[in-house]
Structure formats: C-alpha cells, structure tokens
Amino acid sequence: MKFNKLGSSDIDVSAICLGTMTWGEQNTQAEAFEQMDYALDQGVNFFDTAELYSIPPQATTYGSTETIIGHWLQHRGKRDQIILASKIAGPGEGWVDHIRNGRSRFDRQNIEAALDASLSRLQTDYIDLYQLHWPERKTNFFGTLGYQGKGDDDFTPIEETLQVLAEQIEKGKIRHIGLSNETAWGTMKFLQVAERMGLSRVVSIQNPYSLLNRSFEVGGAEVALREQVGLLAYSPLGFGVLSGKYLNGAKPEGARITKWPDYSRYMSEQAVAATAEYAALAEKNSLSLAQMALAYVNSRPFVTANIIGATTMGQLKENIASIDVELSSEIVTGLELIHARYPYPSP
C-alpha cells in the first residue's frame, strides 16, 4: 500500500480509502466485516463514512453504516489502526427530512447533535476527520457543473462553523476537519477565515473525481496542491459505470443503477459513449477497465486518497489492487484523447 499525508496534518493515510455507503443496504454487517478485515490486511488504514449512510438515504437505514463500523471496532479492537472519517449532513428539505427535519445547518446545535450521535453509533471517543458533507449555501454540487446562484442566500457564517469545530477539536472529539462537495471559492473561504481567526484549517476536500468527471481539475486541483487540502476522490468508478458492467444496455442483477435507475448521473449518452471508448482502450492494453480507471485517479498529484467501494469481495480485491497498476505514457495519452472528445459527460 502507498500512503500520503492527510493535508497539512501529521497523519499518514492509505492512498486507497475504503468507502462504506453500501453497508446496511446492499451489504450486510457480515459482508461489511469481511470487507474491513480484508482492507486492513491489505494496508488500507483509511475508512470513510457519514451519518447519511447507507445509500440511498432513507429514515429506516439512517446511520446504519456508522453502526456497523462501530460494531466492527468493538469486535476487533483495532480503533488505533484506523483513520476514521465521517460527515455531518447539510440541509436537505424534501430529500433527507429524516435528518433534523431536513434543516441541518453547520451551527452549534446541529454540529454538536450530529457529532455526538455519530460517536455513539461508531462506539468511539473521537473521529479522525470530520467533514461537512455538502455546502449549506446554494451552490453547484451533486451533478451541477455551473454556478447558478445569486450569492444572496442565507447560511451559517463560516466563522461560526469553524469556531464550533475548533471547540470539538479542543474536547478531543475530532482531530481534523474537512470539506465535501465543495467549490474552490468555498475551500478558499474556509482557509482564509481559519487563518484570520487562528483556527484549525481544513485538511481535505471530498469531491467526485473520475474519468467521467474531471471538473475538480478546473479550480480545485490548484487549491488542493498549493494549500495542502488534498482531494479524497469519491465515485472514482462513476457508480460502477467505469467497471463496464452496464455497457451495451446491460442491467446486472443487484447493481446500484439496476436497483435505483434514478441514479443516472453517470449514464448520460455522452458518458456511455466515453465509457465504451475507455473500455476499448483498457482491453487493447490487457487491463481491466475498473483498474485502469482507478489507476488514473491514483496517479493524480492532487489526490490524497481514492475512495473505492464494493458490494462483492471480488470487486473489493480488484479495486484495492489498482494501487499496484502503473499506466504507461501511451495509455495516459489515450485517456486524454478520449477526455478531449467527452470532456465533462457526468458533472
């Protein structure tokens, strides 16, 4: 396994991070235990979860993933071997009304309530990386490429959010803070406010990044490198699309998009066409499409960790093994040519 510093912190995290959002929905606790055991044995020390999980979000499974991880931590007694990341949900009226009535904000009341509940479910005294799952303000995330806001919306002042998080660090409940689904402007504002107030800096940003969505490169990559706020890349396989399993109209039984067709972010006409070309390039070079796609993400200098997820052990083993795949310059050139034809098929 390879390791990188978590932003400006002194923590070393595995370049492959174990994503967990299927546990409690597509995966049972026993299957999740097997995944965590195997990942740790392969050198993966970085696990990422959220109060929102499992996915798709619903009241009946809210917090189930954290609960499963908490049971594993208690059964295995290996808390000190894991860098554990979780997230507080942002506002989501009409979408996640089961989480604080859909009105979650990044203020004292909501942060303290969410954090204490996560700690209880995880059966731990602290979370290594606590992240804001999506911005409270109205901006472009979750499949929206361009900013359509007017800049006049109401959201908790960043000063207040950082102050409350700093207090949780002082109490020992969290070690570091991070952002998720955030813009370059938002990231820089958090950094500026932290510097001005002498508060803890964010050390990471968890955004989508894959061969089907390279929008982070436009503004986020430079921020990540220059400010030591490394990318934790999620959906590196585009909901499994970049495994090739949905090509030619296939609908594998039990697969996420088969079960929930509304998860169509990576199934646009352009995305399907791009995936077919990536698959052909992988086959030409005797690579699996999934490993080629993951290896590309692994190779980017602004990426701290690649968050892989799996519903089967076969998928998990293949995904983790991508850390040992080196892409030739010819393959990278081929990838860039395809990207030029299909720049942003899945924002």
Quote the CA–CA distance of 22 and 26 in Å, as a whole number.
Answer: 5
Q: φ and ψ at 305, to 5 degrees?
A: -150, 145
Quote the CA–CA distance of 126 and 121 in Å, as a whole number.
Answer: 12
Residue 158, Cβ neighbours under 10 Å: how many? Answer: 20
| 53 is annotated as an active-site residue | yes
Catalytic residue among 38, 53, 62, 344: 53
Quote the CA–CA distance of 50 and 133 in Å, as a whole number.
Answer: 8
- Contact between residue 307 and residue 50 where contact means Cβ atoms under 8 Å apart: no
Task: Calculate ∠ Cα 53-58-59, nearest 5°.
Answer: 100
State the pairing for strand pair 12-14/3-5.
antiparallel
Strand partners, 205: 179, 231
Closest to 193 (Cα-Cα) out of 203, 183, 181, 202:
202
The number of residues making up the chain comes to 347
Quote the CA–CA distance of 160 and 162 in Å, as a whole number.
Answer: 6
Q: Give the CA distances from residue 242 to residues 154, 218, 296, 317, 346, in Å, rounded to whole numbers and listed in that order.
A: 38, 22, 12, 16, 12
Q: Give the CA distances from residue 202 to residues 144, 188, 199, 208, in Å, rounded to whole numbers and listed in that order.
A: 23, 10, 10, 18
State the Cα torsion 70-72-77-83 to the nearest 10°. Answer: -70
The DSSP-derived string for 196-234 is HHT-PPEEEEEEE-BTTB-THHHHHHHHHHHTT-EEEEE
- Strand ranges inside 20-134, DSSP E: 46-48, 83-88, 127-132
So which residues are the catalytic ones? 53
